[in-house]
Structure 1
Amino acid sequence: MLQIFSGPGQIYALIDEYAEWKFGIHPYQAGQYRSLLIRFAKTCKIRDVEEITEDHLAYFIGHELSEFYQKKAEKAFRSFLTFASGAGYDCIPHSAVKSLQYHEAERMVLERPRWRLAAIPKWKRN
């Protein structure tokens, strides 16, 4: 059963609980997912789950990860945030996952030059 942690180390403890739940093994053996989530928390200086915002996720996925890892990151964050929601953090997943979906759609549009101008609002164009 998931234990709710509070205080500065909450995000790391929850990531470890998630890794153990997801893979059924010791958190440190979960490897890539755990490393990705810990890196996210460190990069954005997040200590508590409640601090996660849409901007954090969009920044981290768009600027800190190579394209190869972006798809994997999206899956990892969706799964983790759903898990966090089940632990009682109801305010996180909807906005965070919505942000990930928007970011992914925007990235796909930008990769297709013929759609670029039609898909980006005039005030956002350079």
Structure 2
Amino acid sequence: MEQSFSSILTYSIQAIAILLIIFNILRRNEKKVGWGSLSPLLALLGMAVSFEFGNYIFGDQLLSFLGLPAWSNADNTGFHYTIFLSSIFFIPSLIIGYKNPKAFGAKIGKWVSSIYLFMIIIPALFFIIS
């Protein structure tokens, strides 16, 4: 019970810090909000799908809701299909960020998506090779 409260407190503090950073950036914003502004939102969705919040992984729950397995093996081992689900958000985020670079947030969305896609592709290649 105490560990759960600690986790919730940690995530709450992180969320507040992120919101304060976003509000500070928006206040100093000189760029226009446009299609490229969807890039960081899609990147955040991709991250939310792939992160583990205690014992809860949103992507696993979403796949379960759709009637799909989250892992390639029945005992939660093997290949984790949640990376494909997060890629559904990261790939459009990357494309939108590149196509609309002058919009507010496009650059950060493009970079975050690039980093995460790189971190997804490398382990997937190792899994396929082994």
Is the structural similarity TM-score above 0.5? no
Normalised-by-shorter TM-score class: 0.3 to 0.5
Between 1 and 2, higher relative CO (CA 8 Å, sep ≥ 6) is seen in 2
TM-score (norm 1): 0.35
